[in-house]
């Protein structure tokens, strides 16, 4: 029954993914400017004849009808090639393989931080409702919800340079090559992003926990004389966690988007900076594939959260 449910959920996500590809494809085909001018640099285009330009367009495949270009792209995506950078001729899938791990690490650090900080703060607020600790945590939550993470990132970068004469290592160093150097690259952006997300988690955890605590079975447990801490941990928390989990999935989109700006502020050579660079270079092959990747990741993260939900919460009906 569960397997059937999973299968159906997977099936449902397919039209969504196709829709994503169509939106990206169409949006990027109305770009202004002549991409050939970028390709051939300052003054280079003047030396090309009309025939040369036609030939180059043919080689790049941008002279064909849109639907064929789209079909080609889909073919590339399914074969995992994802085409080549319009500007540098480098394989986009290689780019993703090289830069993806950094962004993935940042996302993992951010999610961990958001839970490690957000959950205890939220729980504390709920247990000690209207205490001083609750007020402080709520105040901080509200502040962190308002402060844009990229600005915090800028402040961290500037302060660490001015005060400690420090900047993170250059280049892409993977965690399996040199964990210490790698962590210097990913930790700070991960924590900055995580702090921003932790505020949402804390608020959600507090609210749901407060609701659950008022529910009957918790009251029963409490009436049975179980210690308060145990009541919260054993009964209330489990049920309160599910909405937080769902929120985490929704927040993942915020996190992916935020990582673009935070990576840029920290000059981390991850997917986010690659995306920004591709945007400024109008490299639509890179842009369309990276944006697609972001969409796919988001869809699958939320799909797996839904499935986790189904496993964790027996009340969910599989239909």
Partner 1 sequence: MASQADAPSQLAAPTASPLQRCQYALISGLTFCRRYPVGAVGGVLLVFISMVAAFAGLFSPHDPLYVDFLSLGAAPSAQYLLGTDYEGRDILSRIIYGGRVSLQVSVLSVLLGSTIGALWGVASAFLGGRFDIISQRVVEIVMSFPALVLAMVLLVALGGGIWTVIIAIAVTRLPYGVRVVRSVALSVKELAYVDAARAMGASNFRIMAKHIAPQCFAAYFVLATAHLGAAIVIEASLGFLGVGITPPTASWGNMLGGVIANTYKPIWWLVVFPGLAISITVLSFNLLGDALRDALDPKLRGR
Partner 2 sequence: MSSMFSVKSVVSLTVSLLLVFVIACGGTAPAEPQSQAPAAPQAQDQSAATAAPAAQAAPTERPDEEPTATPFATAVPTVPPKVQAETPRLMLRAPEDNPQRGGVMQWAGLSDSPHFDMHQCNTAACAQPQGVYFDNLLRYSPFDGGKEVIPDLAYGWEVSDDGLVYTFHLREGVLFHDGAELTSEDVKATFDRIIFPPVGMISPRQSVFVAVEEIRTVDPYTVEFVLQAPRGFMPAAIANGWNVIERKQTLEDNNLDLKKLKPGTTVHPGTGPFILEDHQAGEFWKASRNPNYWNPELPYLDGIQHSHLAYGPATGAALITGRVDYVYGAGADLRDDIRQNYSDTHTVVVYPIPSIGGMFVNHESDGLSDPRVRRAISMVQDRCAIKMAVAAIREIEVGTWVVPNDPDFGALYREATLNKKPGYNCPATGDDVANAQQLLADAGYPNGDGFPTLDLMVRDINFFVSPMAPMMQAFMKQSLNINSEIRVVHTSVWQEDRDQGNYDLAVNGAPTPLASTPAYWGSWFYTGSGSNWNRGSSNPEFDALVDELIGTTDPARKEELTLQGAAILEEWTPMIFINHFTIIDGFANYLKGHGRANRVTLFNDIRFDTIWLDK
CB 266 within 8 A of CB 188: yes
The number of residues that bind partner 1 (CB under 8 A) is: 56
For the chain, the residue count is 319
Q: Which of residues 259-318 bind partner 1 (CB under 8 A)?
A: 260-261, 264-265, 275-276, 279-280, 282, 287, 291, 294-295, 298-299, 302
Instruction: Give, in degrees to the nearest 5, the angle at Cα 287 between 155 and 99.
Output: 60
Partner interacting with residue 190 (select from partner 1, partner 2, none; CB below 5-8 Å by kind): none
- List 46, 177, 216, 319, residue binding partner 2 (CB under 8 A): 46
Residue 66 interacts with partner 1 (CB under 8 A)?
Answer: no
Q: Number of C-alpha atoms within 13 angstroms, CB side, residue 283?
A: 21
The number of residues that bind partner 2 (CB under 8 A) is: 38
Residue 313 interacts with partner 2 (CB under 8 A)?
Answer: no
CB 39 within 8 A of CB 87: yes
Least separation in angstroms between residue 163's CB and partner 2 is: 12
The greatest distance separating any two alpha carbons of the chain, rounded to the nearest whole angstrom, comes to 88
3-state secondary structure 36-101: HHHHCCCCCHHHCCHHHHHHHHHHHCCCCCHHHHHHHHHHHHHCCCCCECCCCCCEHHHHHHHHHH
- For residue 213, the 8-state DSSP code is H
- List 68, 71, 136, 142, residue binding partner 1 (CB under 8 A): 142
Q: Number of C-alpha atoms within 13 angstroms, CB side, residue 307?
A: 17
CB 195 within 8 A of CB 111: no
Number of H helices, E strands in the chain: 13, 0
Reading phi first (left if > 0) and then psi (alpha if -120 to 50, else beta), residue 81 is in alpha
Partner interacting with residue 132 (select from partner 2, partner 1, none; CB below 5-8 Å by kind): none
Q: Is the dihedral of CA 294, 105, 205, 308 positive or negative?
A: positive
- List 43, 80, 225, 314, residue binding partner 2 (CB under 8 A): 43
Partner interacting with residue 156 (select from partner 2, partner 1, none; CB below 5-8 Å by kind): none
Nearer to partner 1, 97 or 147 (CB): 147
Q: Which of residues 233-272 bind partner 2 (CB under 8 A)?
A: 267, 269
Residue 172 interacts with partner 2 (CB under 8 A)?
Answer: yes
Q: Which of residues 10-29 bind partner 1 (CB under 8 A)?
A: 15-16, 19-20, 23-24, 27-28
Least separation in angstroms between residue 140's CB and partner 1 is: 12
Nearer to partner 2, 151 or 318 (CB): 151
- Residues found near partner 1 in the complex (CB under 8 A): 15-16, 19-20, 23-24, 27-28, 30-32, 129, 142-143, 145-148, 150-151, 154-155, 157-158, 161-162, 203-204, 206-208, 210, 243, 247, 253-258, 260-261, 264-265, 275-276, 279-280, 282, 287, 291, 294-295, 298-299, 302
């Amino acid at each position: 029954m569960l397997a059937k449910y999973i299968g159906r959920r997977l099936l449902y996500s397919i039209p969504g993914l196709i829709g994503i590809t169509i939106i990206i494809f169409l949006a990027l085909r109305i770009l202004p400017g002549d991409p050939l001018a970028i390709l051939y640099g300052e003054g280079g285009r003047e030396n090309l004849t009309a025939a040369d330009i036609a030939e180059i367009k043919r080689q790049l495949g941008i002279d064909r009808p849109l639907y064929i270009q789209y079909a080609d792209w889909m073919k590339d995506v399914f074969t995992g090639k994802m085409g080549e950078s319009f500007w540098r001729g480098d394989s986009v899938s290689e780019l993703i393989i090289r830069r993806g791990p950094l962004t993935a690490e940042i996302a993992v650090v951010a999610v961990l931080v958001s839970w490690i900080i957000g959950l205890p703060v939220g729980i504390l607020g709920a247990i000690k409702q209207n205490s001083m600790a609750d007020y402080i945590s709520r105040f901080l939550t509200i502040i962190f919800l308002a402060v844009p993470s990229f600005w915090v990132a800028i402040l961290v970068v500037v302060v660490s340079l001015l005060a400690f004469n420090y900047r993170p290592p250059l280049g892409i160093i993977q965690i399996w090559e040199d964990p210490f150097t790698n962590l210097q690259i990913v930790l700070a952006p991960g924590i900055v992003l995580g702090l921003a997300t932790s505020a949402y988690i804390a608020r959600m955890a507090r609210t749901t926990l407060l609701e659950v605590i008022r529910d009957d079975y918790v009251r029963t447990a409490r009436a049975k004389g179980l210690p308060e801490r145990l009541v919260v941990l054993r009964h209330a928390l489990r049920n309160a966690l599910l909405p937080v989990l769902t929120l985490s999935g929704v927040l993942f989109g915020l996190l992916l988007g935020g990582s673009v700006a935070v990576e840029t502020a920290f000059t981390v050579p991850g997917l986010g900076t690659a995306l920004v660079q591709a945007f400024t270079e109008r490299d639509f092959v890179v842009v369309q594939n990276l944006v697609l990747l972001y969409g796919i990741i988001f869809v699958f993260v939320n799909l797996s959260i839904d499935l986790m939900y189904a496993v964790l919460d027996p009340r969910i009906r599989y239909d």
